[in-house]
Amino acid sequence: MKVLVTGGCGFIGSHAVDRLLQDGHEVIVIDNLSSGNARNLEHHKDNKKLSVHIASITDLEKIESLFNGVDWVFHLAALADIVPSIERPMQYHNSNVNGTICVLEACRKHNVKRIIYSASSSCFGIPDTFPTPETAEIRCQYPYAVTKYLGEEYCMYWEQIYKMNITSMRFFNVYGPRARTAGTYGAVFGVFLAQKLNNKPYTVVGDGKQTRDFTFVTDIVDACVTAAKRNDVSGHVFNVGSGNTYSINKLVGLLGGEITYIPKRPGEPDCTFADTSKISKLLGWKPKVSFEEGVKIMLDNIDYWREAPLWEPHTIAEATKDWFKYLA
Ligand code: UDP
């Protein structure tokens, strides 16, 4: 297969590239390096089956011809993180919504056979039901969640109207090596691993009893590949989760070290937990990496976070000012 990966230099994207090359596919990457890093694909630099194009997905004219002859598209390019989405909503809309439409139009023009959209479990906001099924009410809490959900809606409309073969995967708390750490205050693993390297206490939010459906990145990619292979399953939305939910205290226990507590953040759920019965039933997919194994892999790769920003309670308070201001 010829597979195009948008955001292929990013965290999840680079793992998708690893897997697709390993499976013998030809891979084309489009990435504007806004949060991705060319270093994430350095280990493939001599692989003739990979080509990397530095471009923005919002530049339809520039990217469109790259979709010629492509079988599958994994659309993983997006701006992530909550805080900057509150500060710069237009930028998020442009990348995550307009960018998605550009990708859909390029796919339509070139009759791409299969499109996998990376959606986010953040569309559920603070749900009533755990584990949370795909049918739960949409309750976006911040612009990032809205833009990822709108991207999914557009995918589903393109699927209906233009009869394209598209599946949306709602990822739950993805973690793994190369989890983004640059710049903004973001996902917990990047924050905690940098704190561990610097012998600083972990900044645990609230009482640490809140739980997350931490899903290892290779399982996420495996779910996408499984979905891509199934031409007969189009127009569906699937939760992709680990099958369980783990507290921050449990994570700290596995990482080992001291704790300092910081205030609970407004708008964040006490639990994320995917109901994965749909993906299991329709695609026969199940996660493979346990939380304990996943955390061990993170610790084995901890050097990656050496240059990551070190967050401390006062810098977190400063960085999340707008979060508390607008979502409280
Ligand atoms: N978290 C924490 N300390 C931090 C950052 C995050 O205790 O410095 C917790 C946070 O309360 C949440 C979990 O880690 O329960 C995952 O947070 P993240 O921002 O990675 O994901 P999200 O909240 O969007 O699910």
* pLDDT in the model for residue 280: 98
For the CA of 173, the nearest atom of ligand 1: 25
Residue nearest to atom 3 of ligand 1 (CA): 204
Distance 21 CA to ligand 1 centre (A): 32
Ligand 1, residue 210: give the atom nearest the CA: 15
Distance from chain centroid for Cα 208: 23
Pocket of ligand 1 (CB under 6 A): 173, 187-188, 191, 203-205, 210, 212, 248, 268, 272
Q: What is the mean pLDDT of each run of 10 residues along the chain (328 residues)?
A: 98 98 98 93 97 98 98 97 92 98 98 98 97 98 97 98 98 94 81 96 97 98 98 96 98 97 92 98 98 98 91 93 86
Q: Which residue's CA lies nearest to atom 20 of ligand 1?
A: 187
Catalytic residue list: 144
Closest CA relative to residue 165, chosen from 70, 86, 78, 97: 70
- For residue 111, CA distances in Å to 87, 201, 291 come to 37, 52, 39
Between the CA of 188 and the centroid of ligand 1 the distance, in Å, is 5
**Cα–Cα distance measured from residue 19 to residue 1, given in angstroms and rounded to the nearest whole number:** 13
Residue nearest (by alpha carbon) to ligand 1 atom 11 = 205
Indicate the helix (H) or strand (E) that contains 227. helix 217-228
Give the pLDDT confidence score for residue 266 in this predicted structure. 87
306, two tokens: 């050496």
Distances (CA, A) of 318 to 7, 37, 252, 313: 29, 26, 24, 9
205 Cα nearest atom in ligand 1: 7
- Encoding tokens for residue 91? 């930028």
Ligand 1 centre distance from Cα of residue 67 (Å): 36
pLDDT of residue 276: 98
Nearest residue (CA) to ligand 1, atom 21: 187
Please tell me the predicted confidence (pLDDT) of residue 267: 84
pLDDT number for residue 328:
81
Domains and CATH numbers, the chain: 2-174+215-240 (3.40.50.720), 176-212+243-272+290-327 (3.90.25.10)
Across the chain, the runs of DSSP E, i.e. the strands, are 2-6, 26-31, 50-54, 72-75, 114-120, 166-171, 174-175, 202-205, 211-212, 215-216, 237-240, 246-247, 259-262
